[in-house]
Amino acid sequence: MQPTQTLASKLPRVGTTIFTVMSKLAADLGALNLSQGFPSFPADPALLELVTKAMRNNHNQYAPMAGMPVLREAIAQKTAEVYGTIYDPDSEITITSGATEALYAAVTAVVQAGDEVIVFEPAYDSYVPAIELAGGVPVFVSLTPPDYAIDWAEVATKVTDRTRLIMVNTPHNPTGRVWTADDLNQLANLVQERDLFLISDEVYEHITFDQRPHRSLMQHPVLQERTFVVGSFGKTFHVTGWKVGYCLAPRELTVEFRKVHQFLTFSVSTPMQVALAGYLSEPDRYLSLAGFYEQKRDLFLQALAGSRFAFTPTEGTFFQNVSYAAITDEPDYDLAVRLTKEIGVASIPVSVFYDQRNDYHILRFCFAKDDETLRRAGEKLAQWSRSM
């Protein structure tokens, strides 16, 4: 039936996310799914045990709006140990429904109609819709392969009287780039003395390679006082389907953040929070993650070693970008679909993360997969590249 009303879209340019599209295509065709970022292997049984225990212990009703105190305390302790930064669990830490909700709530809390928000692209796909729904205007700083380095002089030219917020993501999805101490200093110079806020998406905080440290914005005092730091247990403990994340922000910022959070979801699954709090008691469970994924990265790259793809080992995250520019000049979206259909390996075309769909002929592969899948996918890709 045709409705008589017309619903004017608030997001006219948005369709179904590329992650949904590619994962469905991979499932329909039985392809190896290296597209959407989620592990193909199970979580630690000890963590699952803790959930069962929490449920049996009657942790099954609404959690407090800000999150279970035990989890907020465990996060405060971990944050102090890993980064040396102190957040008060009562007034500066909020548990959210994944990082996605934290990002949305922080954007909504900060952005007023007409405010400009600086977004480095390629950018994770939830940032711009959140900004636009808040009435904000995204202002893009485009980064380009192979190194996606930030030209800070260019960033400075984009800051105007209307700039209210800058979105940061390190380690970065989709490029794998990890911010350096110099990046943090440059950002601090830029925002100092300005009425500007920062959202730092650090969901891959524990996945950096080759001894490279993750630089959290909370470690720089000029940045810390104006930043909403966003994390997620999905990436760290192989449970992306749980959708439990968090936001760390100074008290005044957290007050406004929680006003949005309490009407967006109010609170987050109670037994999961209790389980995660218990699981955080052993630091090795997150500190060992970098080594675990570095092996997977190297395994995948070994399989691609004799191929015609060009790549530099990713600095962080569980994504490896690969250039096929020397092989074919097909659009990246078309090639991602074709490879899924023809050789049974699904990936993500990086152009979708650019506002203007800039196509540098790069595909993103997720290597959070079991070793056999990575070996087979790498071999299929290498073989295909040599047949072209």
SS3 346: strand
Name the residue nearer to ligand GLN (CB basis): 99 or 249: 99
Q: Which does 176 bind (CB under 5 to 8 A by kind): ligand PMP, ligand GLN, none?
A: none
Find the binding residues for ligand GLN in span 23-52 (CB under 6 A). 36-37
340 binds ligand GLN, rule: CB under 6 A: no
**Backbone torsions φ then ψ of 96, nearest 5 degrees:** -125, 170
What's the rounded Cα separation, in Å, for the pair 177 and 253? Answer: 28
Closest residue to ligand GLN, based on beta-carbon distance: 37
Cα–Cα distances in angstroms (integers) from residue 336 to residues 21, 123, 341, in the given order:
11, 19, 9
For residue 196, the minimal CB distance to ligand PMP (Å) is 21
Name the residue nearer to ligand GLN (CB basis): 36 or 186: 36
Please enumerate in sequence order all residues whose Cβ is within 8 A of that of 131, keeping only pairs 6 or more positions apart, or say none: 107, 111, 117, 119, 137, 138, 165
19 binds ligand GLN, rule: CB under 6 A: yes
For residue 251, the minimal CB distance to ligand GLN (Å) is 30
Q: Which does 94 bind (CB under 5 to 8 A by kind): ligand GLN, ligand PMP, none?
A: none
For residue 173, the minimal CB distance to ligand PMP (Å) is 4
For residue 347, the minimal CB distance to ligand PMP (Å) is 15
CA 71 to chain centre: 21
Cα–Cα distances in angstroms (integers) from residue 380 to residues 38, 61, 103, 300, 344, in the given order:
21, 48, 37, 11, 8
Name the residue nearer to ligand PMP (CB basis): 232 or 323: 232
What's the rounded Cα separation, in Å, for the pair 338 and 355? Answer: 23
Contact 141, 358 (CB under 8 A): no
Q: Which does 183 bind (CB under 5 to 8 A by kind): ligand PMP, ligand GLN, none?
A: none
For residue 23, the minimal CB distance to ligand GLN (Å) is 7
173 binds ligand GLN, rule: CB under 6 A: yes
Q: Which does 201 bind (CB under 5 to 8 A by kind): ligand GLN, ligand PMP, none?
A: ligand PMP
For residue 161, the minimal CB distance to ligand PMP (Å) is 29
Element spanning 167, H or E: strand 163-169
For residue 220, the minimal CB distance to ligand GLN (Å) is 26
Q: Which does 270 bind (CB under 5 to 8 A by kind): ligand PMP, ligand GLN, none?
A: none
Contact 95, 71 (CB under 8 A): yes
Residues in the site for ligand PMP, rule: CB under 6 A? Answer: 37, 98-100, 124, 169, 173, 201, 203, 232, 234, 240, 243, 245
Closest residue to ligand PMP, based on beta-carbon distance: 98
Q: Which does 245 bind (CB under 5 to 8 A by kind): ligand GLN, ligand PMP, none?
A: ligand PMP
Please enumerate in sequence order all residues whose Cβ is within 8 A of that of 240, keeping only pairs 6 or more positions apart, or say none: 37, 38, 39, 234
Name the residue nearer to ligand GLN (CB basis): 173 or 269: 173
The 10 Å Cβ neighbour count of residue 351 is 20
What's the rounded Cα separation, in Å, for the pair 173 and 319? Answer: 7
Name the residue nearer to ligand GLN (CB basis): 37 or 349: 37
Side-chain half-sphere CA neighbours of 374 within 13 A: 25
For residue 316, the minimal CB distance to ligand GLN (Å) is 13
Contact 146, 325 (CB under 8 A): no
Footprint on this chain of ligand GLN (rule: CB under 6 A): 17, 19, 36-37, 173
